[in-house]
Chains A and B, each alone.
Chain A
């Protein structure tokens, strides 16, 4: 068998794993690897302008396609620039393989130029990681890395790849199968437990499905929708679960938790049975834990045993893949009789709808609503930054399909949205991709405008420009006596800084400023029609707040309603 280099092996491995796009940034210790991508034609390399852009793009790509996102960076500072993005992917269980160059094996541990202990640094923010010191281990490592990233509860895997191993030669045989003694995820749910769920539903008068991102990761939306409709059980989703169940369905209660709908949160508190599917009882969902769902027995379907009974004692745990388990459940599910329950919820829906002041002023919620109105026929992918913009995007757009909502949930990473939108657009070239952004967040990775312009990646950026780090300002307004400590971004006379239109134009992107409500639709339409990337600077009501809101650490019964 002919010998090939480590770099070539890596490329062959990536191709074998079906990788067609890589996001990355070059540097000394990764030249051999990138050289092989350059010479080949199977993998398209997307040069970002910052490694953080590359890792978020790989993440966005993974979220919309369901495939493993791949990013690459050089050793030292290149690699450490990936850290926030890897942690973001880890918190949201996103399948990813990050490949970092490393100094020569003989220099490792010597504080060599651009050396950083990436395996050490990323240990607690990856599902698993590797340092490949022996070229003979490389094929197996690549195979395992992809297997671990995409199976079970997915997550990021890092391969630290020393530059001398990249140029060493060895025979290459890519393994067909993986056998990791300590890693055998459970997919099939325990049938006895599944029957217990069915019995619990039969006894329940007020059941509620609480659905998380796990349903999207396991491609179980169809099965979930079937189950909910068959049993007539209302559905609330977490922010990560948006799109797992059609929000225009009569059974949908929208999102629950800190900025969830009042009727979803009331339903949780009144329910006598909560069926959690692929959700993890995060504190942003449960509020004060000892008053969460005080009347309910709890069923928890999850692929990760460590999620079960971590925050909340579970009565009926079922470990396995959401899709497999819902399929089994659908076989035995019976039509429920929950008319009283539906009536109660209908009253809450009527009395406490999601609303905002729909007056003549340009309010951020209106912009989000109009994006939905203009795209509901053909559909759109909504990517967000973090803060109020993210919550308005979650609340005021109607999500009906999985993988159309892309947002950093667990880590809440500002600067995630724009590069993730680029990755999403690469993954779904024909989709309309919006990045709903704040004026703060967008500045964290604005350099990627160069990537979007040069590669003609037509992402539409909607800046909900309030001149503030709005979400933090909201907390300061409500809980810190309006002391806006270091959250003002605008100049003293309230003009925005920077001028986003000029900024966009300087990169060669289309820039628009919208200051009137009456201009919103037209601007959005123009943006959708424009071929390349567009930056829309919506100068919105400055001190608009996100409601409802459960203050941190309070019970979800203690919602602040604002206007509602």
Chain B
């Protein structure tokens, strides 16, 4: 063979990142399964997914947080767009947006001293205790990722029994 061989780099290396997308879909049965199926069939990872109705009742919004590299994320967006029931895919990652998540943390709280300490932590962070059990407290917090992570870390030493979180919702800022 008489051609030169200067290899072009056909597959660049990408780093894994977290991406946030907001997807408007038809509010019909089966749509969530289509979206979830798309991720599982192609081996993409969903970090969180939150769904709810929008201002227009025939349209739902899904806020999806995806763990992916840039190349896979491009495919995720294109594949989501390709679904017939997808009306719009909005990538929030690059721009300015506000995001919130709601979390319940059930934390072990048996001894009096410990119970007091937890109450203090909760007060100082602005979170709220929504259930006082004999052996545990349930703490509610809403906020962005940092805020929620901070609270989890503060409570972890006392023994976290259960965590329930909604997944992130996000909205683009007006500017």
Binding site for B on A (CB under 8 A): 119-120, 123-124, 127-128, 131, 148, 180-183, 266, 269-270, 289-296, 304-306, 309-310, 312-313, 344, 557
> In the complex the two chains form, is A182's CB within 8 Å of B7's CB?
no
B17 CB to nearest A CB, Å: 18
Q: List 9 A-B contacts (CB under 8 A).
A: A119-B30, A123-B33, A182-B83, A182-B88, A289-B10, A294-B5, A294-B8, A305-B78, A313-B12
Complex Cα distance A124/B35, Å?
11
The answer to whether the Cβ of B90 comes within 8 Å of any Cβ in the partner chain is no
- Give chain A nearest CB distance to B31 CB in angstroms: 10
Say whether, besides A123-B34, A124-B37, A266-B1, A304 and B9 are in contact (CB < 8 Å): no
Complex contact B78–A306 (CB within 8 A): yes
Name the CB-closest residue of A to B81.
Answer: A305
Given the known interface contacts A270-B3, A312-B10, the answer about A123 and B83 at a Cβ–Cβ threshold of 8 Å is no
Per the bound structure, the CA–CA distance linking A124 and B82 in Å amounts to: 12
Which residues of the other chain, B, contact A305 by a CB distance below 8 angstroms? 78, 81-82
Residues facing A in B36-79 (CB within 8 A) are 37-38, 41, 71, 74-75, 78-79
Q: For the complex, what is the distance from the CA of A124 to the CA of B9, rounded to whole Å?
A: 32
Chain B residues lying within 8 Å of A304, measured Cβ to Cβ, are: 82
For A296, give the chain B residue with the smallest CB separation.
Answer: B8
Do the beta carbons of B84 and A290 come within 8 Å of each other?
no
A310 to B7, CA, bound (A): 19
B149 at the interface (CB under 8 A from A): no
In this assembly, does B144 line the interface, its C-beta being within 8 Å of a C-beta of chain A? Answer: no
Decide: A313 and B26 in contact? CB cutoff 8 A: no
- Report Cα–Cα, A305/B10, bound state, in Å: 19
CB distance from B161 to the nearest CB of A (A): 35
Q: Contact flags (1/0) for B88-102 with A, using CB distance below 8 Å?
A: 100000000000000
**A residues less than 8 Å from B128 (CB atoms):** none
Query: Once the chains bind, are A557 and B78 in contact (CB under 8 Å)?
Result: no
B11 at the interface (CB under 8 A from A): yes
Shortest beta-carbon distance, B143 to chain A, in Å? 33
Residues of B participating in the A interface, judged by any CB pair closer than 8 Å: 1-12, 25-26, 30, 33-34, 37-38, 41, 71, 74-75, 78-79, 81-88
- With contacts A290-B9, A293-B8, A294-B10 known, what are 9 further pairs, Cβ within 8 A? A120-B33, A123-B33, A123-B34, A269-B1, A289-B10, A291-B10, A294-B6, A304-B82, A306-B82
A344 to B2 alpha-carbon distance, docked (Å): 9
A313 to B71, CA, bound (A): 9
Partner of A306, one of B5, B6, B11, B79: B79
Closest 8 CB pairs of A and B: A270-B3, A306-B78, A128-B84, A182-B87, A294-B7, A290-B10, A182-B86, A124-B41
B75 and A295 contact, CB distance less than 8 A:
no
The answer to whether B75 touches A306 (Cβ under 8 A) is yes
Interchain CA distance A305-B89 in the complex, whole Å: 14
Contact of A290 among B7, B34, B87 (CB under 8 A): B7
Expressed in whole angstroms, the Cα–Cα distance for A270 and B34 within the complex equals 42
Bound-state CA distance A290–B12 (Å) is 9
The docked-state distance in angstroms from the alpha carbon of A123 to that of B37 is 8
- Check A183/B84 contact, CB under 8 A, given A266-B1, A290-B9, A312-B10: yes
> With the chains together, A400 CA to B79 CA distance in Å?
35
Instruction: With both chains docked as a complex, state the minimum distance between the C-beta of B38 and any C-beta of chain A, in angstroms.
Output: 8
Closest B residue to A153 by CB, please name it. B82
* Nearest B residue (CB) for A348: B1
Set of chain A residues within 8 Å of B82, measured between Cβ atoms:
304-306
B2 to chain A, nearest CB (A): 8
Whole-angstrom CA separation of A343 from B88 in the bound complex: 50
With A295-B4, A313-B12 in contact, do A181 and B87 touch (Cβ < 8 Å)? yes
For B10, list chain A residues within 8 Å (CB). 289-292, 294, 312-313
A182-B26, A266-B3, A310-B75 given; A127·B12 CB < 8 A:
no
Contact of B84 among A180, A270, A344 (CB under 8 A): A180
CB distance from B27 to the nearest CB of A (A): 11
Which residue of B3, B12, B41, B86 is within 8 Å of A269 (Cβ)? B3
Bound complex: CA A269 to CA B3 (Å):
8
Q: How far is the CA of A128 from the CA of B75 in the complex (A)?
A: 19
Of chain B, the residue at the smallest CB distance from A290 is: B10
A305 to B75, CA, bound (A): 9
Give every chain A residue within 8 A of B85 (Cβ-Cβ).
182
**Which of A180, A305, A306 has the most CB atoms of chain B within a 10 A radius of its CB?**
A306
Query: Cα distance A291–B7 when bound, in Å?
Result: 7
User: Which residues from A are CB-within-8-Å of B79?
Assistant: 306
Taking CB atoms, residues of chain A closer than 8 Å to B5 are 269, 294-295, 557
Chain A residues with CB under 8 A of B38: 124
CB distance from A300 to the nearest CB of B (A): 13
CA distance A292 to B10 in the complex (A): 8
- With the chains together, A306 CA to B71 CA distance in Å? 11
Q: What separation, in Å, do the CA atoms of A550 and B30 have in the docked complex?
A: 42
Bound: A172/B39 CA distance, A: 38
Residue of B nearest to A304 (CB): B82
A305-B4 Cα distance, complex, nearest whole Å: 32
B1-A290 in contact (CB<8A): no
Q: Which residue of A lies closest to B7 (CB)?
A: A294
Q: Give Cα A181 to B8, complex, Å.
A: 40
CA A309 to CA B12, docked complex, whole Å: 12
- Chain B residues with Cβ below 8 Å from A289 are 10-11
Instruction: For the complex, give the distance between the alpha carbons of A119 and B32 in Å.
Output: 13
CB distance from B100 to the nearest CB of A (A): 27
Residue of A nearest to B88 (CB): A182
Q: Which residue of A lies closest to B8 (CB)?
A: A294
**CB-CB under 8 A for A295 and B26, given A124-B37, A182-B85:** no
- Tell me which residues across on chain B come within 8 A of A131, comparing CB atoms: 30
Closest to A133 in B: B29
Nearest opposing residue in chain A for B41, CB measure = A124
Give min CB distance, A156 to chain B, whole Å: 13
Chain A residues near B87: list those with CB within 8 A.
181-182
Q: Which residues on the A side are within 8 Å of B12 (C-beta)?
A: 313
A313 / chain B contacts, CB cutoff of 8 Å? 10-12
Q: Which residues of B contact A309 (CB under 8 A)?
A: 71, 74
Q: How far is the CA of A266 from the CA of B1 in the complex (A)?
A: 8
Central interface residue in B33, B78, B86, by most chain A CB within 10 Å: B78
Complexed CA–CA distance, A312 and B37 (Å): 24
Identify which of A296, A305, A344 gathers the most chain B CB atoms within 10 Å of its CB.
A305
**What separation, in Å, do the CA atoms of A309 and B72 have in the docked complex?**
10
Complex formed: what's the CA distance from A310 to B78 in Å? 10
Q: How far, in angstroms, from A128 to B8 measured CA to CA in the complex? A: 38
Of all chain B residues, which has the CB nearest A312? Answer: B10
Which residues of B sit under 8 angstroms from A291, Cβ to Cβ? Answer: 7, 10
What is the bound-complex CA distance between A293 and B9, given in angstroms?
A: 10
Q: Which residues of A contact B86 (CB under 8 A)?
A: 182
